[in-house]
Structure 1
């Protein structure tokens, strides 16, 4: 996997051997890079060609000369005693006409190394290697002088190879007499393919007699249940397949990496047999130093490793030097400290340590860290192993460490807090402390994506199933601890909100708010501020912004004990609500002010409130400040490392998906949408899954063209079908995307029906105000496609009124485009062209190239009517070039279709038609040679279409066929596209007995 170029290079060497030409091949690379696997690939190729293959491998131990080649030479080798020249000739005779593979040459004994150098020098008189011509063919028989030719393959690790070998190989490579094949890191695609292969059951793989087992055992024996993404595993393994196998075997958890590979140490050790053999070759002091280094973890000081291992200063340095020579550890931090060559090497060394040693070693390491004043994060790595022996002291270190790492690695923080809670008594002294840790544990679980678990624990706390949320006051009397109770309500509401359970979230947050005095006090506690902020987020995502705005403004006037970052977060939430509600005059300056405050926050502080960057970026997106929006969303994405805040990451990815789609970065938009969908599924957020799927479908409509449009619309329809209407922002956003996709692919009726159902009826009251003008314009376009010019005019008037209140250029561009379409149908070609040009300029200025191209295509017929066919063809040429540049296949296809119509209409005897643009699908062109259109439909589509033609509505059809109404709409839309119609009347005509016709591309004025 991922070694196609290297395999092709090796195949060229075998081509040369079949022509009587030998060669030396050096296979080099990092430990775990797959050098032996490449050699096996060469052996397989040679065996398929009928060429003999001999394996030689440097043993880890043994006595006597020429140990590498003894098995290769056979019984005759013993008679050659210690004569290197005789051995060289013997090996050449044995390998003649085939391939000699020497693996792990860096471990060779001196006599074997001398023999390898002699073999290399024996090729020095040959001509430089060059790849054979593809047109050449092997001669019928090789001349006698070429029958002794063979291929010598030398696999080694450069860091551990002796200088003489490196010098000889480098000289041969420079003079083109040695073929160097480097096993570099695999790319992400190769890692994904490799993981897929490993998880698929397979039979045993046989590489041929004599092939070594250690580095080539088929990896299908590895577990396939890991849910880690290929990208995360690629990063953790550095693209090296040997380390990749170890991580998969351990049950890789990206949230715990690099502190821990996974939870399956037994399988890790079984898969790490070659690495354990490396450790076993070490001297006693060096092995003790390796174990001590594994206890220290990360970068370590040789003196600390010596102290933990119980070695003296001099002996410890010598032991560490041996580890460096064995390439188990390498200099780091400018040589002042050392680190294992890969973190998983240290974890293997740690996993093989005996328990008594581990307890003593971690206790010493904790003492060293405390003496040095190390942060709790470092001390907690050792306290984790002592929590069941050192009790409450270790638990407090773990809680402190969790607080320091929860932003970077929340899964690790959750693990430490769970251990700390297990070490504390359930009752008695420290109850308030335990409750605080329980809430911190819930927060860490939420941040790591384990929202359902956090919800269950938070409910237990509120119900009294966990420790009490009351504590002792300093005066000795018992009284409530309102701070912990308020925080418990906030955490519980947060978990419900993230699971898209908005009614429950609002009720829980409201119950917590009832504990606060009204009006709010002049100074808010940190816990009260947290609850108010959470209450506001619940209303934001349930689409009830206006209800919460007065409370948020009252809270903003108070002073908060939570610190400046909390005040910034509250300000961003207020500004977002204003913008989302369409109050641009108030919200726009506040967003700019908040952006300056957020930009001044350090990354560590900003990372503690990741919602802030997501809210700010989305507010800027609605204000059409795309550069600022992208900057803040990307910063939030970068801050959510180590598996942190999967739910927020999904939100940020959706915002970036929208920006990328508008900016014409369709491949990037599809990738981001798919990642957001995966994350949302992982945390159990169905509404987020719906929107991510709809965004991905919309991107596919643009990128893949009409051939795949039906599939993409069906994908969006299935996603929206799972969403209850009127569920707030997520649902209305997904429904609007489905409507866009339907109109783009010719289903004007479906577009109107989707928007009316999902937007709350006439006027779209449930639609976000900042997007309402463009959606009303979309409905006007759909009405025009259905022949309802009067209805389109009413919708357009509403759209113009809303756009005037907002004053957003891109909303105006959508309205201008719809207005141009309406004027064109009235024959007002000059006025239509002016509006088209204003719309095109708006999209171009806003940085929306695909929308710009689509507008030019729509304007081409009017341009032909006003300025002539040549000007229209020029407009189409510019539109097509722009669409091709951004991979918008749908726009490219539409430009070509409109070009064909214009060219046909401009032929002698025919006049150019100002409505020759994207055709409405109501009037199929008749053709005597056309076949029955019904044959184009699937059985289910014919069933649905026949019922629709009788006048039944979608819900009636759904009840009759036991389908959901969205599924019916999907089948009906597909039938419309295939039959080239956009109304039920036209559908009834098309489904008549053998009605001639041809399915035409729909969406006459399809608007994105």
Structure 2
């Protein structure tokens, strides 16, 4: 249902313009205290002066101040404004007004045609005002004082001269957009009596939001008020008219409504700008158009472009500020609509000449290339040679500053003028690939068609391959890269120089990267890897080759030592430089080979580089890779943090669009933390069809879905997904058993479903790949699968060996899982004591990892074995026994072991035992660590009173 405006008239909430109201209130308080005061309220047309005065009058009336008010017109009849003021003494206007006869002498003297001399009129007026101030203060309020007749202004000045110790306040409101009809009289009054000035600037964003809330019956979209404020420039009149128009149209205050509001603001702004400029001298209009063309330029540049003297330009700029076109204290227009309206006063040929003159002026003045290029961008037709050179320089500067969109804009204009320039097209495509890969691909394809030099074509093909990866077009990239690489090798021959060898290595590395991404091209990557000798790794391209060779070796799953050697050589960069995307590719084989620290160090280098260079897509990729590695090691809280950050980038940053892996990583962690429903919701939002060819993402997606299904109790559905993952990996030729250990999860599911024969077949099939890869994790998982499918003492021995093996690996979560399965098997064999020991350890290990689902399952079996343990929640202290919690609490407060022993009536040795156990379970190393875990949310290091009382008793 559309949001509807309230039926009542749109008015500003009384909470707006707090600072201006406070300033005027301070002057009113001074007047009420007996000091005659004058205040000038100024602001451009539409700034809300009338509404501001209405609120002020209401406030002063509530304070028992007599308020006389009038709005001046262009009537220059002497004393016309004062007569209007006295008219408000009529009881019809104010039930508490003084008796009307007191105003008779003044009214008679002020009457048109009375013929009374000026001194008699002023004396009568003073007597009336003195009479009105007998009982309470008096406020005389004149709106549109710029139209006030001179005689009335001189009468007010006369009153102020005789009210230095009287409670009189004179408030004059004057629009800054037009010159006063009686400039001299108004200036004398305000200067002679040191009138304070309260300037009504644009409404703040908060004021605009308050107006929107007041106008609409239902909450507006969060983006509506900020966009409306920017479009209207904070002008109250425009804001009110926009809201009324939206109401008449039935437009809702949402994102679409904000767009419509911008259109209305533009339509309302143009007539006002034309009226302001129409009443100004020609040189003022020239300054206005020069300022609109130059934007935030220096005043001397505006003067030079307008062709007027600097002093005259300064006067014109001040008038434009007073009129509300320019922001005071700056040389930029209040809104883009205002600037566009000023430029619209020029005919297109005249505007083109002015922009050309502006570009030359800025270039001659030595301004930065981007300032000059911003003018050139808007010029139609062909470009002069110096303009083309300026656009190239501006693009280089913008790209160096990380402003890729701006750089692409300069190159796009250059390409319009020079469509046959392959280098410009290729560079434009490279820049666009960073924020819109889909738009970059056609440019690269055109550049490949245009390129006649084989080396140029190779450079473009490499960029094409990297861009295709972002939009899941690996096969297309593989085809182009294969053909280009063949042509390059034929052209160069065996005697290629160092630069050509580096170009060839770069093209080969990109080919390996693109071909490895999808199932249909993975065989192509393997063939190229088999025929490519491993390079030394002396150059960036060679390191990229080594990283991809390490990845392919790891996917093959048979030579862990070779994969580690290749990956480490890929990371040997001079000076610690990140070395392109090589560290990101090298991290995977290192992690699969249990070299976790090296993998994380490699990712940290790329992460720092991505932060410094403003590469959100690379940043998200690295965070996702780190989240997956941390998940493998059992550091689920840290993995959760990285996955959430990466997922947030995917949702907010256009350059991260089409990235699915961060969402899959987050769902994987959530499922292991016992939040299967949230994991399933995340995965349901992905386009599963687009992932089905991906060697990395599709199996990961299937595994995450299986974990979520299992957590929701759908074991059959989970099993189907795990088997599909195994079929995909086998069909792709991926033989590494620890990349996606679907087989272990399938074995555990089948064992729990009493389908032991099927479980045993899968477990047996996994033994050879695990021995071939040979890492502690691979061997431990393989032993775990065999133990889970082997009955009796032999099975227990296999499970015990698996626990020992995994304890020596970085896979802490797998160690916890193995310990849980051993405890479960012991419980089934009737060894309740042994079961309790291992199940309690499993809970502790799983809780340290943050694997809450596993911790809860182990606790359930611990209770079945006769053990005792509180419920598993999100707190790390769940794994502590009651005594351990007491001991840890006192230790965290700084109590010594002896003090704790005396407080709890136990031996020091017992305290040491419980404290050691608490350290191990909470994964901390000292008393400060205990305090941080036990009371993380208490401010200022506060501790619960029972703990303080216990410590006090101990001492």
Map 1:74-473 to 2 at 5 A.
81-82=81-82, 86=86, 93=93, 109=146, 182-183=206-207, 193=221, 214-219=241-246, 245=258, 269-270=266-267, 272-273=269-270, 276=273, 280=277, 283-284=280-281, 285-297=283-295, 299-323=296-320, 338-340=331-333, 346=339, 349=342, 353-386=346-379, 388-406=381-399, 408-424=402-418, 426=420, 434-449=421-436, 451-462=437-448, 464=449, 468-470=450-452
CA distance in structure 1 between the partners assigned to 2:878 and 2:265 by the alignment: 54
Offset, 1:648: 4.8
Offset, 1:316: 2.7
Q: Which residue of 1 aligns with 2:816?
A: 816
Q: Is the 2:664–2:701 contact (alpha carbons within 8 Å) kept by the matching residues of 1?
A: yes
CA distance in structure 1 between the partners assigned to 2:250 and 2:393 by the alignment: 35
Q: Is the 2:723–2:746 contact (alpha carbons within 8 Å) kept by the matching residues of 1?
A: no
Q: Which residue of 2 aligns with 1:905?
A: none
Partner-residue secondary structure (3-state), 1:873 = coil
CA distance in structure 2 between the partners assigned to 1:519 and 1:840 by the alignment: 62
Map 1:882-897 to 2 at 5 A.
none
CA spacing shift, 1:610–1:82, aligned 2, 3 Å: farther
Offset, 1:367: 2.5
Offset, 1:754: 0.8
Partner-residue secondary structure (3-state), 1:772 = coil
Offset, 1:338: 5.0
CA distance in structure 2 between the partners assigned to 1:705 and 1:555 by the alignment: 46
CA spacing shift, 1:878–1:107, aligned 2, 3 Å: same
CA distance in structure 2 between the partners assigned to 1:855 and 1:697 by the alignment: 16
Q: Which residue of 2 aligns with 1:968?
A: none
CA spacing shift, 1:92–1:730, aligned 2, 3 Å: farther
Q: Which residue of 2 aligns with 1:535?
A: 511
Q: Is the 2:550–2:564 contact (alpha carbons within 8 Å) kept by the matching residues of 1?
A: yes
CA spacing shift, 1:726–1:275, aligned 2, 3 Å: same
CA distance in structure 1 between the partners assigned to 2:574 and 2:845 by the alignment: 30
Offset, 1:412: 3.5
Partner-residue secondary structure (3-state), 2:477 = helix
Offset, 1:811: 3.0
CA spacing shift, 1:765–1:571, aligned 2, 3 Å: closer
CA spacing shift, 1:358–1:815, aligned 2, 3 Å: farther
Partner-residue secondary structure (3-state), 1:311 = coil
CA distance in structure 2 between the partners assigned to 1:319 and 1:670 by the alignment: 54
The structure with the largest alpha-carbon Rg is: 2
Question: What CA deviation, in whole Å up to 9, does each residue of 1:499-556 have, x standing for no partner?
Answer: 2122221121111111333779461347545533422331343374766667887566
Q: Is the 2:668–2:679 contact (alpha carbons within 8 Å) kept by the matching residues of 1?
A: yes
CA spacing shift, 1:697–1:546, aligned 2, 3 Å: same
CA distance in structure 2 between the partners assigned to 1:699 and 1:485 by the alignment: 43
More helix as a share of residues: 2
CA distance in structure 2 between the partners assigned to 1:702 and 1:108 by the alignment: 73
Any gaps of 5 or more consecutive residues in structure 2? 17-24, 29-42, 59-67, 97-141, 160-165, 177-189, 228-236, 779-805, 880-955
CA distance in structure 1 between the partners assigned to 2:340 and 2:622 by the alignment: 34
Superposition TM-score, scaled by structure 2 size: 0.56
CA distance in structure 2 between the partners assigned to 1:188 and 1:701 by the alignment: 42
CA spacing shift, 1:648–1:867, aligned 2, 3 Å: same
CA spacing shift, 1:280–1:863, aligned 2, 3 Å: farther
Q: Is the 2:836–2:867 contact (alpha carbons within 8 Å) kept by the matching residues of 1?
A: no
Q: Which residue of 2 aligns with 1:863?
A: 862
Map 1:545-694 to 2 at 5 A.
554=534, 557=537, 559=539, 638=611, 648=618, 651=621, 654=624, 662-663=636-637, 672-673=646-647, 676=650, 685=658, 688-689=659-660, 691=661, 694=664
Any gaps of 5 or more consecutive residues in structure 1? 14-21, 26-30, 44-51, 53-64, 97-104, 119-124, 127-151, 171-179, 200-209, 234-243, 251-265, 427-433, 471-480, 561-565, 883-1008
CA distance in structure 1 between the partners assigned to 2:88 and 2:732 by the alignment: 88
Offset, 1:824: 0.3
Moved more, 375-384 or 663-672: 663-672
Q: Which residue of 2 aligns with 1:499?
A: 471
Q: Is the 2:703–2:740 contact (alpha carbons within 8 Å) kept by the matching residues of 1?
A: no
CA distance in structure 2 between the partners assigned to 1:868 and 1:737 by the alignment: 32
Moved more, 522-531 or 725-734: 522-531
Q: Is the 2:571–2:583 contact (alpha carbons within 8 Å) kept by the matching residues of 1?
A: no
Offset, 1:444: 2.9
CA spacing shift, 1:184–1:729, aligned 2, 3 Å: same
Q: Which residue of 1 aligns with 2:37?
A: none
Q: Is the 1:330–1:339 contact (alpha carbons within 8 Å) kept by the matching residues of 2?
A: yes
CA spacing shift, 1:531–1:759, aligned 2, 3 Å: same
Q: Which residue of 2 aligns with 1:787?
A: 754
Q: Is the 1:654–1:692 contact (alpha carbons within 8 Å) kept by the matching residues of 2?
A: yes
CA distance in structure 2 between the partners assigned to 1:215 and 1:805 by the alignment: 66
Q: Is the 1:546–1:581 contact (alpha carbons within 8 Å) kept by the matching residues of 2?
A: no
Q: Is the 2:13–2:211 contact (alpha carbons within 8 Å) kept by the matching residues of 1?
A: no
CA spacing shift, 1:727–1:592, aligned 2, 3 Å: closer
CA distance in structure 2 between the partners assigned to 1:370 and 1:812 by the alignment: 63
Q: Is the 1:617–1:632 contact (alpha carbons within 8 Å) kept by the matching residues of 2?
A: no
CA distance in structure 2 between the partners assigned to 1:441 and 1:589 by the alignment: 38
Q: How many residues align?
A: 703
CA spacing shift, 1:521–1:712, aligned 2, 3 Å: same
Q: Which residue of 2 aligns with 1:523?
A: 498
Map 1:726-741 to 2 at 5 A.
727-741=694-708
CA spacing shift, 1:387–1:600, aligned 2, 3 Å: farther
Q: Is the 2:537–2:543 contact (alpha carbons within 8 Å) kept by the matching residues of 1?
A: no
CA distance in structure 2 between the partners assigned to 1:552 and 1:374 by the alignment: 51
CA distance in structure 2 between the partners assigned to 1:223 and 1:657 by the alignment: 48
CA distance in structure 2 between the partners assigned to 1:296 and 1:211 by the alignment: 26
Offset, 1:783: 2.6
CA spacing shift, 1:181–1:300, aligned 2, 3 Å: closer
CA distance in structure 1 between the partners assigned to 2:504 and 2:92 by the alignment: 83
Offset, 1:734: 1.4
Partner-residue secondary structure (3-state), 1:291 = helix
CA distance in structure 1 between the partners assigned to 2:87 and 2:674 by the alignment: 64
CA spacing shift, 1:765–1:572, aligned 2, 3 Å: closer
Partner-residue secondary structure (3-state), 2:727 = coil
Q: Which residue of 1 aligns with 2:786?
A: none
Superposition TM-score, scaled by structure 1 size: 0.54
Moved more, 799-808 or 185-194: 185-194
Partner-residue secondary structure (3-state), 2:694 = coil
Offset, 1:873: 1.9
CA distance in structure 1 between the partners assigned to 2:573 and 2:872 by the alignment: 45
